[in-house]
Amino acid sequence: MKTQVIDLDLDYFNYFQRKPIGPKVWGRSNRHPNGVIPAVKLFLATLPRDVPCHFVVEHHHVLDCLPKGKTRRPIDRIGTWFHVDEHHDFYADPSEVKSGIDPDCGNYCWAVPTTMYKRFIWVTPPWSKMKNVHHGNRVQIRSWMKRHQRTFEVQSKWTWQKSRVGLVLVCLSPDFIYFRAEEVDEVIRMIGDHFNLKKVPVPRDREGRYYSRSSVSSWSLARRIPTIRPLRKSEKKKAVKKKAAKTRR
């Protein structure tokens, strides 16, 4: 039964860099010996390949990917929303979002339909101090969740179950990631290959690859040609058997 949604912002992986190239994040250099690419590879291994995945540029664009009206939901029943992000994205006041103000990347979580989750879990980077500072509105978040009979939790472990994930949402966040350009390109390719995506974010121009504070407009979604991956051993055996069966005929 599919009951879990994974909502990933790639700025989550800022803390997995071997050498920091961006600013210090809340007084701590964003450095970890694993590196971004191995961390993304481990992360993708926890997710099924055969579920719907939407890859967007800015995080509030995921709202357009959620089912509306009588559209069939990608999950079987209300379950858990895993918000894997450096920020909780419940900034501002919920009344502002509900009163018609367009959601942005910092407050869109107020606009996520509560019909999509019963538990909202903010998954922070393991070494991040973000979960302890600059989140004075956490009391407001919990009280709002309580009124809607929902719960808000914070954790740093990947506790979802692969078999229960029914929808994956991925956001590039070019204004907030501090990877090297070649790492960003590789991460986009890996995610596109894992879910066999037809569209992924691409920079419109060369300047878009340097991820400055004005880079969002330099990115858009574009069609991609899936990378042809090498056959696995099990697939090779099946191909050989299939070929042998054809020759016998």
Sheet with 151-155, edge to edge strand ranges: 53-56, 165-171, 4-9, 79-84, 117-123, 151-155
Q: Is 35 left (phi over 0), alpha (psi -120 to 50) or beta?
A: left
State residue 130's pLDDT score: 57
Q: Which domain holds residue 30?
A: 4-248
Q: Model confidence over 136-153: pLDDT tens digits?
A: 577 788 888 999 999 999
> Where does the pLDDT of residue 19 fall: very low under 50, low under 70, confident under 90, or very high at 90 and above?
low
Domain count across the chain: 1
> Where does the pLDDT of residue 77 fall: very low under 50, low under 70, confident under 90, or very high at 90 and above?
confident
Q: Model confidence over 168-205: pLDDT tens digits?
A: 999 998 888 887 778 888 999 999 999 999 989 887 76
Stretch 58-66: mean pLDDT:
91
Average pLDDT value for the chain: 79
Q: What angle do CA 31, 170, 54 make, to 5 degrees?
A: 165
